[in-house]
Amino acid sequence: MPKIVEATASLVDIEVETLRTDAVQAFVKQETVFVDLTTDDGCTATGYSYTIGTGGSSVLALLREHLLPHLIGADATLVERLWTDLFASTRATTVGAITSLALAAVDTALWDLRCKRAGEPLWQLAGGFRRSVPLYDTEGGWLHLSTEELVSGALASRAAGWPGVKLKVGKERVDQDVERLAAVRDAVGPGLDIMVDANQSMTHAEARRRAAAFEPLGLAWFEEPLPADDVSGHVALARSTTIPVAVGESLYSAAQFRDYLARGAASVVQVDVARVGGITPWLKVAHLAETFNVHVCPHFLMELHVSLVAAIPNGRYVEHIPQLRAVTHGQLRIEDGHAVAPDAPGLGIDWNRDAIDDRRTA
C-alpha cells in the first residue's frame, strides 16, 4: 500500500483572461489552491480547487492547519475512506464552502495519484463513456457586453461549429434582456443552443416573469434564476415554465442535489467539482442525476470537467471558459465543437511549474 509521506498546499493567483461580469459580481482573479502529494513509492500527484476572488487564504489555512496532517502515513488508495475521514474531522464546519473547496483540493490530488498509478486517464478510470463531449461558450455572453458584441460572439461560436452559447441575463428591465436574447436568436437561427444565466439574482416573481418573456426564444436552460438555497422556489418555477431550470454551481454537498432532484427542481445539474468537494462526491451527484434522467453540465473548470463529463453517460455539455492557460502547457483540445478528454494518466492537466511559482502568494 502506498503511504502518503508528504502533503503540501499553496495558493496561486491566476489573472482573469478577460473581463467577466454577471448580474451580481465580476470575476476578479482565480485564487487557485494546489495540493501536492508524495507517496513512499515515489509517486507524486497534484490536485486543485479555486475561488473567483475571495476566501482562498481561508481554504489554504484549513488545509495546512487541519486537513493535510491527517494524510501523512495514510494509504493513498483508500480515496473514499480518506474523504469520509477528512469530512468527519471537520464536523464543526461542514457542510460549508471553505471546507468543500479544501476537500476538493485533496480529493482531486488523490484521484490524480490513483489514475497515474493505474496508468489510465481520468475519463476512463472514472467511468469511461466517450472521449469527447459537446462544448458551449460562455466567454461571448457576459452582462457588460453590448447586444452587437453578443451577436458577433454567438455567430463566431456557430461558425466554429460549437453547438451552444450562454448569455448572462439580469439587466434592470425585462425588455433589455429580451432585446439582447432575441437579437442573438435572430442572428444564429434555431439550430444553436442558447443558455441564459441569472446568477441567483432574481426574486421568484421576477424569475417567473422573465421566464415567460424568454419562452418564445427556445432557450436550452435558465440557470440559477433564484438564490441556491430556495429549493421550493425552484420547484414552483420549474412547474411554471417550459424552459429547463439549471442549478448546481452554488451547492456544496452531494445531498443538496438530492433535494433538488427528488422535488423536480433541477432539469440540468451543474455540479462543480471544486465546490462540491472533489471528484468523489462529483461522481455521486452525476450518477444520482442519471437515476432521475437528468443531464449533467458542470460549472466552469473545463480543464478538469472535460474528463468527468466524458466519464458518465448523462454528461451533456462542458462550459468553455479558458482560465488555466497561464499556468499550463498546451490547452484544451477542441475538435468540431467538442472538447476532447486528455489521454495522459492522471487528471490530464500539464501544469507549468515555473508559471505557478511566479504567481504563488502563499
Q: Which residue is nearest to Mg ion (CB)?
A: 197
d(CA 244, CA 292): 14
CB closer to Mg ion out of 36 and 197: 197
CB 217 within 8 A of CB 230: no
Residue type, 44: T
CB of 148 to Mg ion, least distance (A): 23
CB of 22 to Mg ion, least distance (A): 7
CB closer to Mg ion out of 193 and 223: 223
Sign of CA dihedral 316, 278, 304, 166: positive
CB of 270 to Mg ion, least distance (A): 7
Give the number of other CB atoms < 10 A from CB of residue 118. Answer: 12
Residues at the contact surface with Mg ion, assessed by CB under 5 A? 197, 223
CB closer to Mg ion out of 70 and 171: 171
Give the number of other CB atoms < 10 A from CB of residue 29. Answer: 18
66 catalytic? Reply is: no
DSSP state of 281: H
Pick the catalytic residue from 234, 295, 299, 320.
299
d(CA 206, CA 195): 18
CB closer to Mg ion out of 308 and 356: 308
CB of 227 to Mg ion, least distance (A): 13
d(CA 260, CA 267): 9
Task: Give the distance, in angstroms, between the CA of residue 200 and the centroid of all CA atoms in the same chain.
Answer: 16
The per-residue DSSP string of 235-260 comes to HHHHHH-SSPEEE-TT--SHHHHHHH
284 catalytic? Reply is: no
Of 248, 230, 282, 232, nearest in space to 108 by CA:
282
CB of 120 to Mg ion, least distance (A): 31
Q: Give catalytic residues, as residue numbers.
A: 168, 299
